[in-house]
Chain A
Amino acid sequence: MIYQGKQKIWSDYQKEIPDDHWYYVRSCIRQNFFPGSERMFLEICRNVLGRDFHETEHHTTCGGIAYHCDTIPQETAMTIVARQFALMTEAGYENYVASCITSFGNYTEILETWHEFPELETRIRELLWKACRKEFRKPKYLAHTSDLIFKYRNEIAEKAVHHLVNKETGEPLRVVEHIGCHYAKMFPSKGIGGAEYPYVLAGMVEAWGGNVIDYPERRHCCGYGFRQYHIKANRGYSVSNTYKKFESMEPYRPDMIITNCPGCPYFLDRWQYVIAETEGKTYGQNGYGIPVFTYEEVAGLVLGYDPWDLGLQLHQVAVEPLLDKIGIPYVPEDKYKGLDRKEIMRPGLPQNLKCY
């Protein structure tokens, strides 16, 4: 293919992201899985980078989990989303940013559906009015929070205290980047780099000093997949997907994994414990696992935040070997201390997976 042709195709998958003034909505499950991430996102955007991010306690779930589990019809999910847009309209914002990949996919799907079937949008407006007397304007711009960290990646790199570099050898860390399926697999033009070559996390890793690993199952699902996990009998299918990914990345000896989806870091992290307990197999060095991070946690580490303030003690796989490798200081005794400096409960240790 001629170079100009490549440039043209690549330009189709770039996003013009507004710089400031965003209406922010949280994820249902990230608050429980890795609660430090969303707090860190707002902390970085508001206090470190000085941007305007508005959030309200009145917003709810986007309905994405129920929709993808086939428990609610799409009209219900659409009315829930319409209410979120109404809250944004009331707050006087036009740019909408979602913390969850599935929400982002859900919003994109709904906006595209309304674009194709305007009569459906009219019906949803009627339903919303009947349900809660609200009206809405559609967002001018819809983004996922990882798009914004991608946009701000160079500003973060300028303020970086640590880099994704092995302090002993000076070599860049080998990083696996894992993109949530609902980011660009449904609507490739809505993700930075499209579905095949998403650049959103790779761009962050490169800007912060790491090396991205390319491995055969790089675009494979993490295994969560909603129905695969939510029905217990199907969980073997979920963990088998994760197992396949780890088997594929193992020969490349990754130092860490970075993800941009609520489910992926959780399952890539927790299933390492299940794989270790059932198969006796661990993927990190010396019996440890490969630590899995959200992009906000990595941004926080790069900016020099305390690992325990980022919530890294909630990870199943021990993060300490990686912190030592980069040279990030931490106080081991503070790992399980709460905000009031009192000891919170310590988890039991697995048999096969080495943990601190």
Chain B
Amino acid sequence: MTIEALTVVTLERWLRDRVAAYGELAPDAFTVDTPLTELGFNSVYALTICGDIEDTFDIDVDPTVVWDNPTIRRLAAALYAVIKKE
């Protein structure tokens, strides 16, 4: 995924796919505002997804970013800010 094409919406879509894959969930079983913890997305997944994010978008993300942004919508916004800054 190129940074140029990246928008908050594409980030949200990417995160939705990851969350569905992690939790083995149907994509319509949750929304971008469902708290991740309700999807069984615990602090372990926070670490795993950080590794995914870093390698996909070539940025450094501390897992605390995931802790502090507990929905896909908020996480996408926070990541977008990090990507723009870098």
A and B interact? no
Which positions in A face B, CB cutoff 8 Å?
A: none
